[in-house]
Structure 1
C-alpha cells in the first residue's frame, strides 16, 4: 500500500511527520462521510463508462465493509497513509482489486477532503441545532415554572430594578433561538455539493455533478470549481463564528449561575452531582463545569480565529495550509456540542431559591418605580428623579411579587410571551428535522443502510 501521490522516492520521515500532523487520527471522524462521497462518485463514474457494473458492485461492497470495520473500531489509519482518504483507497484495492485503483478517477485528494467535511458538517450542524433546541426548551421550562418568581435586576452589578427568574431565563432562550436561526441560514449555504472540483480546475471528463448532488442529498451543486477550493476552511469558519455566538451566550449564563449561586447571593443552588470537590478542602463543592464553560467558550472563539488567520493571506487555488483548518473545526464542534448538553443538564437540575431571591429586594430597588409613581401624579420625570434620588431613605417596603406583575407590556416580567418563543423554536426544529430526514433517506438509498455520520 502507498500514498496516493507516491512515485519513485520515499519521503523523509521528519517531513512525513511534519506534513501528516494528526490527520490520520482526526480522519476517523470522517470515514463514514468519505465512504458516502466515494460511493456517490463511483456510481457516477459507472454512469459515464469509467467503471463497469461489476466494478461498482465490488466497490459498494468494499465501502460497506469499511464502514463495518470502522464501526467496530477495526479500521486503522496509519501515519504512513497520511489520512483516511488514502486508507480507504488502499483498503478498497485489497477488497476490490483494480476497481479500487479506478475510484480516484476525476478526483483530487482535496476534492475528497472538501466533500467529506461538507457531508460531515452538514449533519453536524443539524445535530448542534437540535442540541441547542434541547437547551432552549430546558430554559423555557424554567422560565415558565418561575415566570412569577421575583429576581433582583442588576446593572453595573449593583441593585437596579425589579426583575424575575422568568425574564432572566427567557432572555437567554430568545438569544439562543436567534443563534439557531443563524445556524439554519448558514446550513443553506453549507448544503451544496463540492464534489467534482478535482484540484480546483475541473477535469476533461464528463463528470455528472448533478447526479452526485442527488445521490448525497445536497440541495444544489456548488457551481464554480475554483470557488469550491477557496471555500475550504471558509465554510467551516462560517459555522464556527456562529458557534462562537452560542458559546458566548453559554459563558454569560455560566457566569451568572456561578455568581448567583454563591452563598452571598443565594438565588440559585447547584446540586452536588453537578459539582466537583477540592483535593484539600473537605467542604468544597465547586461549579467546575460552569467555570470550564467560560474557558471553553474562549477556546471555540480561538478555533475560529485560528482558521481565519490561516485563510486570510492565502492566494486562490489549493494550498497545503488548508490542512490546518480541519482540527480547529472539529474541535470547535465537539466543544460546543458537549457544552450545550452540560448546560441543558444544569438547567434541568437547577434549584431556584425563592426566599433568597426575594431577600435581595432592598428598598432602593424600587427607586425608579417610586419616581414613576410621582410622574403618574403629574410631576415631570426629571423632577421626580431628583426628588426620589435626594430622599432614598424615605423609600418604603414594597411587594416584590406585585412589582414584577405591574410590568405588563410585551417582553417585560408581567408579559413574557414565552409561547411566542416556543413557537419560533418549534418552527426551526421542524425545519432541521425535515432536512435531517431528507439527508438520511438519500444516504440510506445510496449505501443500502442507515449511517451514523457523527462519529465522536
Structure 2
C-alpha cells in the first residue's frame, strides 16, 4: 500500500489495524472513483481562480485527471489494495506524474468533503436512473391500461369483492409510479447541494471559489455550512434509499399480485418465459423466480437504510463510523435499481387469461352495484346495503362484468379511468 496521506514520522503502522481501517474502502471507491476525479477537476479550477495553482499547473492537473479517468475506464489503471482509498490513489497518481503540482491538489480540501461530493454526484446519477425506471414503468402501465380492459375480480382482504378490470389494475400502478417519479424529483431537489470546499467540516483559511465548483459540477446550490455538510452525510443517503424504497414497496405489491395470479389456483396471468426458471428436481415446474425476487427486493434497500440510520447515532462533526455507510448504500441502491429496471418489459409482455378471470367473477360480486343503484334511486344507503346483502347470491342476475364496469363512472373507476389526465401529470414532470 502507498503511504497513507495522514502518515506521521516516527509512528509505525500496524498491518492488521491498517487492514481494519481500510476495510473494503478501496474496492467500494471504484463505484465513486470517476465522480471523485470529476470533483477534483473542479477543485483544481477553483484553486487556479484564487492563485493557489498556476494556469499551467491547472491545465496539467486536469490533463492528468482526464488520463486517469480514461485509464480507469479502460482497465489500464486498477484501483486496488496498493492504495488506502480512491482519494489517495488520485493524489498518488498526480504526484507521480506531476511532482509538486500533484501534491498541491489536496490544498483546501479534506477526504471528508472529497467523499461527500463524490457520493453526492453518484447519488444524483442514481436518482436520475430511479426517475427513468419509474417513468418507464408508469408508461408501460398506461399503455396496457389503454389497450385492454379485461374484466377480473377485484379483491379486498384477499377475498373476491367487486368486478374490476386489467385496465383498472394497470392504472393503479401507473399512478403509483408517477408519484415515484415525483418523489425522485423531490429528493433530487433536497440533495442537489455542493459540499466541496467545506473541508473537514469547519472551512479553511483561504477564500475558496465554491461558487465556481458549484456551477462546474452542476449543483443547484452550495451547501453553505461546513458543519451541516458533515451532518448531511447519511441523511441524504437515507433520503435516496427512501425514494428507491418507496418505488420498491409499490413493486412488492405488484409482484405479490403476479405471484398469486400465476398460480394454478388463480391462473390469471402467463409470464414471459424469460421471467421464469425450472426446478432443479421437478421436471414439470416453471417457477416465477424473478417475480419472487422482485417482491423480496425491498428488503435489501430497507436493510441499507437501517444500517446507515444506526451509524448516525453520532455527535456533530466527522466520525469514522460513516465509512461503513458506503457499502450498504452501494449495495442497496444497486439492488433496488436493478429490480426496477426489469419491470417495464415484464409488464409489456405478460398475458392475461380472460376466461379464468371471468369465471372467477361470482354473482355476489355485483351486490355493491345493487346497493349503490338503490341508494341513487333514493333508498337510504344502509337500507339498500341490508337488502343487497340478503340477496347477494342472486345479485348477478341479468348483469355482466362489462355492464358493471360501464356503470362505474366515479372519477378513476372502470368507466372513467382518466388515463389522459395521468399522462399529463407524467408529462408535467418532464425536464
Output the TM-score relative to the length of structure 1: 0.91
8 Å CA contact 2:25, 2:85 repeated in 1 = yes
Provide the residue aligned with 1:42 in structure 2. 44
- Helix, strand or coil for the counterpart of 1:413? coil
8 Å CA contact 2:363, 2:394 repeated in 1 = no
Give the 5 Å matches for 1:305-316.
305-311=306-312, 313-316=313-316
Provide the residue aligned with 1:365 in structure 2. 365
Provide the residue aligned with 2:61 in structure 1. 59
Provide the residue aligned with 2:210 in structure 1. 209
8 Å CA contact 2:244, 2:337 repeated in 1 = no
Deviations 1:53-94 (A, max 9, x none): 121111111101111111112322233422111111111112
Deviations 1:28-54 (A, max 9, x none): 111110111101111111111111112
- Helix, strand or coil for the counterpart of 2:163? strand
Question: Which aligned runs of 4 or more in structure 1 are off by greater than 6 angstroms?
Answer: none
Distance 1:201 1:272, change over 3 A: same
The offset of 1:377, in angstroms, is 4.4
Distance 1:349 1:396, change over 3 A: closer
- Helix, strand or coil for the counterpart of 2:286? coil
Give the 5 Å matches for 1:50-199.
50-146=52-148, 148-199=149-200
1:26 aligns with 2:28: yes
Provide the residue aligned with 2:251 in structure 1. 250
Provide the residue aligned with 2:219 in structure 1. 218
Once residues 71 and 80 of structure 1 are traced to their aligned partners in structure 2, the CA distance between those partners, rounded to angstroms, is 18
Once residues 38 and 197 of structure 1 are traced to their aligned partners in structure 2, the CA distance between those partners, rounded to angstroms, is 14
Once residues 394 and 217 of structure 2 are traced to their aligned partners in structure 1, the CA distance between those partners, rounded to angstroms, is 71
Once residues 37 and 303 of structure 1 are traced to their aligned partners in structure 2, the CA distance between those partners, rounded to angstroms, is 26
Give the 5 Å matches for 1:254-293.
254-293=255-294
Once residues 352 and 40 of structure 2 are traced to their aligned partners in structure 1, the CA distance between those partners, rounded to angstroms, is 53
The offset of 1:395, in angstroms, is 2.9
Provide the residue aligned with 1:354 in structure 2. 354
Provide the residue aligned with 2:305 in structure 1. 304
Provide the residue aligned with 1:345 in structure 2. 345
8 Å CA contact 1:20, 1:79 repeated in 2 = no
Aligned length: 428
- Helix, strand or coil for the counterpart of 1:71? helix
8 Å CA contact 2:275, 2:291 repeated in 1 = no
Provide the residue aligned with 2:232 in structure 1. 231
Query: Where does structure 2 lack aligned partners over 5 or more consecutive residues?
Result: none
- Helix, strand or coil for the counterpart of 1:162? strand
Provide the residue aligned with 2:423 in structure 1. 422
Once residues 184 and 91 of structure 1 are traced to their aligned partners in structure 2, the CA distance between those partners, rounded to angstroms, is 37
Provide the residue aligned with 1:241 in structure 2. 242
8 Å CA contact 1:202, 1:225 repeated in 2 = yes
Task: Out of 45-54 and 9-18, give the one that drifted further.
Answer: 9-18
Output the TM-score relative to the length of structure 2: 0.96
